Each structure stands twice: as structure tokens, then as C-alpha cells.
């Protein structure tokens, strides 16, 4: 097992312990394969047909890149309930809004034209009541209803009916990133959000102060994350704060509004609060890994699990840390736990598939690699899947993936290796 792994890694010029993609899994987001399609329509933000399916696909893959979904059904249901209550009172009741919670420690939020809105765990954990949540959701809904999000997506193209990604897999073009909003767009979304909050019975003042509230409650340690997350996509300025205060004073001087049911809010946010210390340690461990202190990172990951047991994200990262240390037994154990708790996260499925491949358990490897690839097609995942398909005798499926990797990474190690594999298969 070790010899075959080593020969493959030497041929690819990778680190001597694990495959190249495992060096970046859980530390940076993977780059997704993206098939070609027409750009997202602009103007009024209206989409239909194929565009709707494409946006759903893009939304799911952006969630994957951001750490997957945070698997707390109570919190997710609460966010969706508040979001749907607001959406029904918005200017675009024809849009079918969807709301999700991303398992990302960075305080951030994103939206897509079809009404797809995601808030991160790191953003929600700093909220103190339902009104603050409503303020953020109203603002995001405002962007969608004003048509700001139409055309924001950079590098996303595809066909919702294409099961295999066979072309155009570049790191930049497939980043599934979104352009930051302009200050004028932010101001319009603020105004629309404030109006929406008032119609829903929430205190409008929260819309003016929620950014500052989150900033201060997050503490000094989270400020750098915040500046690299929420503010980059949704730039905050004194102009925004000043104009929001002015608008509220002019339009709603007598309206106080409510803050929601505190008991319901506390119940919905219970797991988020209980696991906060665990995820703080999780973030510390990830930083230690980035600094090359893997042994210390593993210790801190274990501390994180003590504070937040059975959290798939922590289990996955711990398994990956052991895998990078070439310690497959504990790596497999923690990755299996992660997958059993959350089967729909691409990193844990790809990593577990890689371990099965190293153990020559090719059919088990195929199952996990296929699942991970469908969740978020990456160049690294495609290469591994192509290799395992070849090993189980699926030459046609293998050659298609090798061809895709060779095109997407033409001058890279994986691309050159895939091209060489194709030549061998053609003999």
C-alpha cells in the first residue's frame, strides 16, 4: 500500500505522505469544475427554467466551498422561518427564497439572484436576538429584490443537466465567487431592509446598529475575520450607518417594534452557543496547521472535540490532520465518524475515498469519491475518481475525467499526469 502510494506521489511531485489535494483540504476551499452556459440575466433579477436549476446548483456548491451546511435542524428551521416571514412581505413575492446556514467561522453572508441566501455560523453566533437576525435577512432580501445580485457571480457557468464536467475547469473561472456590492447598492438594500423589517413588526433600529453590535460582540479576535468576510462582500462605512439612522428618524420616528420571542431564539441558538468554545479551538487548530504546526494542531483539535463532541467539521479536520501526518488508522476513524454524521460534505467524502484507495478497497473508494465529486467537482477529486474508475475497469468514465483534468490543469502536475494517463490508455 505504501509503495504504490509513494510511487504515485513521487511521479506527481507531491508531498511524500498524501495526495496533493489533501494538503489544502479544510485549509482553503477547493476549486470547482464548471460546465459552460449563458451568464446569469441582469436587470430585474428575474430568472427562470434552466437558470433556476443552475442557481440551485451554484448555491449548493458555494455552500460546500464555505464548509458545507451547519447541521443543526432547529437553527436552520428558525432562520428559514424568520426569512420566509420577511420574504412574504417583500417587494418580490414571486421569488421562492431559500435560506441556509453555512458551517463557516468567518462572519459572512451571500445571496444569489433566485432568492438563495446563506448566513454563516460565525455571523449567527454573535447575534443576540431575533430582530438582529431579521435585520441581516432583510438586508439580503433587499439585495435580491432590487436585482443587485443578478450578474454578481464570477466564473460560474454550467448546465444543470450535465453530470460530468468535461471542459473549462480552471482555478479562477470555477471559483464560484461573487463580486462585492457597491456602496450605493448597500444603501438601497439597507433602505429596503428597514422598510421590510417595519412591515414585519421588527424594531427598525436594529438594521442601523446590527453591524456595530456584531463587531463589538465578536471581540478583538474576530475582527480580522470580519474584515476579511462580511465587510469585503458588504462594505460597511460611516456613511451607511449615518444614512440608516437618518432614514429611520425621518420615516419611522415613533416605531419601536419587537425583538421576537426570546425563549424561541434561545432554543434555536442553543447548539450554536454550546459549541462556540469548541469552534474557537477548531479555528485555532486550523491556524496552527496553516503555520505548519501539525502535531500541536492535532492536540487542539482533540480539545475542540471535548468542547463540541460529534461536530462533523471538527471530526473531518482532525481526520485530515492525521492523514497529512500519514497516520491512516486514526484518519480513517475520524473521517468515518464525520461522514456518518454528515454525508453531504465533499471534503470528508473525498478524504475517506482516498484512504480506501490507499487500502486497495476500490469499490468503497469509488462510492465516497463519487459522492464527494458530485457535491463539489474539483480537479483533485476528479483525478482521484478517474484513477479509481480505471482501477475498477471503467475505462470510459476514467478517460473522460482524465481528459477534463488535462484540459483544466494543462500545465499543472495533475493535468500533465492525466494527459500521460490518457496516452497510456490509448495504446
318, containing H or E segment: helix 312-324
pLDDT single digits (tens) 332-361: 999 999 999 999 999 999 999 999 999 999
Query: How far is Cα 144 from Cα 86, in angstroms, rounded to an integer?
Result: 13
* Whole-number pLDDT of residue 235: 56
Angstrom distances, CA of residue 244 to CA of 189, 190, 202, 266: 11, 7, 15, 28
According to CATH, what is the number of the domain 2-28+276-426?
A: 1.25.40.10
Cell of 426: 490509448
Residue 258 C-alpha cell reads as: 419587537
Provide DSSP, 390-411.
HHTT-HHHHHHHHHHHHHHTTT
Interior CA angle at 376 toward 372 and 377, to 5°? Answer: 90
Instruction: Quickly tell me which residue has 491556524 as its cell.
Output: 287
Between CA 299 and CA 194 the distance in angstroms is: 46
Domain ranges of the chain: 2-28+276-426, 50-272
Window from 64-68, 135-139, 217-221 with minimum mean pLDDT: 217-221
> What percent of the chain is predicted at pLDDT more than 70?
74
d(CA 243, CA 107): 23
For residue 78, the model assigns a pLDDT of: 98
Comparing CA positions, the residue from 420, 385, 419 lying closest to residue 403 is: 419
Measure Cα distances from 97 to 33, 44, 51, 107, 144 in Å.
26, 16, 15, 21, 9
Q: Looking at residue 237, what is its pLDDT?
A: 61
pTM: 0.82
140 forms beta bridges with none
Nearby residues of 373 by Cβ (< 8 Å), 6 or more positions away? 346, 350, 381, 382, 385
Q: Which residues contact 255 (CB under 8 A, 6 or more apart)?
A: 198, 203, 204
Is pLDDT above 70 for 138? yes
Q: How far is it, in rounded angstroms, from Cα 387 to Cα 395?
A: 10
Which 3 state secondary structure label does DSSP give 110?
strand
pLDDT of 231 over the 70 cut? no
Each residue's pLDDT tens digit, 293-317: 999 999 999 999 999 999 999 999 9
Confidence grade of residue 208 (pLDDT, cut at 50, 70, 90):
low
350-401 pLDDT, tens digit per residue, is 999 999 999 999 999 999 999 999 999 999 999 999 999 999 999 999 999 9
CB atoms inside a 10 Å sphere around CB 44? 12
Amino acid at each position: 500500500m505504501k509503495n504504490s502510494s509513494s510511487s504515485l506521489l513521487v511521479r506527481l511531485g507531491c508531498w511524500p505522505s498524501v495526495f496533493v489535494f489533501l494538503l489544502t483540504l479544510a485549509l482553503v476551499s477547493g476549486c470547482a469544475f464548471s460546465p459552460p452556459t449563458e451568464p446569469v440575466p441582469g436587470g430585474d433579477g428575474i430568472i427562470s427554467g434552466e437558470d433556476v436549476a443552475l442557481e440551485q446548483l451554484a448555491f449548493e456548491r458555494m455552500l460546500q466551498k464555505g464548509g458545507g451546511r451547519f447541521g443543526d435542524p432547529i437553527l436552520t428551521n428558525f432562520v428559514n422561518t424568520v426569512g420566509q416571514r420577511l420574504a412574504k412581505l417583500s417587494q418580490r413575492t414571486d421569488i421562492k427564497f431559500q435560506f441556509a446556514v453555512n458551517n463557516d467561522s468567518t462572519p459572512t453572508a451571500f445571496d444569489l439572484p433566485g432568492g438563495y441566501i446563506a448566513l454563516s455560523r460565525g455571523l449567527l453566533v454573535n447575534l443576540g436576538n431575533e430582530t438582529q437576525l431579521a435585520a441581516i435577512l432583510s438586508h439580503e432580501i433587499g439585495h435580491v429584490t432590487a436585482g443587485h445580485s443578478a450578474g454578481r457571480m464570477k466564473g460560474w457557468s454550467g448546465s444543470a443537466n450535465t453530470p460530468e464536467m468535461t471542459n473549462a475547469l480552471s482555478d479562477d473561472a470555477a471559483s464560484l465567487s461573487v463580486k462585492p456590492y457597491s456602496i450605493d447598492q448597500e444603501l438601497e438594500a439597507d433602505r429596503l431592509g428597514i422598510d421590510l423589517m417595519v412591515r414585519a413588526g421588527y424594531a427598525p433600529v436594529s438594521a442601523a446598529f446590527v453591524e456595530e453590535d456584531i463587531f463589538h460582540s465578536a471581540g478583538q479576535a474576530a475582527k480580522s475575520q470580519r474584515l476579511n468576510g462580511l465587510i469585503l462582500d458588504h462594505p460597511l462605512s460611516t456613511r451607511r450607518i449615518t444614512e440608516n439612522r437618518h432614514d429611520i428618524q425621518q420615516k419611522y420616528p415613533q416605531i419601536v417594534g419587537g425583538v421576537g420571542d426570546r425563549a424561541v431564539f434561545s432554543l434555536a441558538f442553543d447548539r450554536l452557543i454550546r459549541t462556540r468554545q469548541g469552534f474557537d479551538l477548531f479555528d485555532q487548530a486550523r491556524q496552527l496547521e496553516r503555520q505548519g504546526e501539525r502535531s500541536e494542531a492535532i492536540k487542539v483539535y482533540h480539545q475542540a472535540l471535548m468542547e463540541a463532541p460529534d461536530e462533523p467539521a471538527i471530526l473531518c479536520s482532525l481526520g485530515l490532520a492525521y492523514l497529512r501526518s500519514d497516520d491512516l488508522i486514526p484518519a480513517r476513524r475520524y473521517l468515518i465518524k464525520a461522514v456518518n454524521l454528515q454525508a453531504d460534505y465533499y471534503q470528508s467524502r473525498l478524504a475517506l475515498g482516498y484512504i480506501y484507495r490507499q487500502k486497495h478497497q476500490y469499490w468503497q473508494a469509488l462510492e465516497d469519491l463519487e459522492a464527494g465529486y458530485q457535491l463539489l467537482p474539483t480537479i483533485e477529486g476528479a483525478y482521484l475518481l478517474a484513477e479509481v474508475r480505471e482501477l475498477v475497469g471503467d475505462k470510459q468514465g476514467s478517460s473522460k475525467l482524465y481528459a477534463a483534468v488535462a484540459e483544466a490543469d494543462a500545465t499543472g502536475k495533475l493535468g500533465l499526469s492525466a494527459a500521460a494517463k490518457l496516452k497510456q490508455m490509448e495504446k
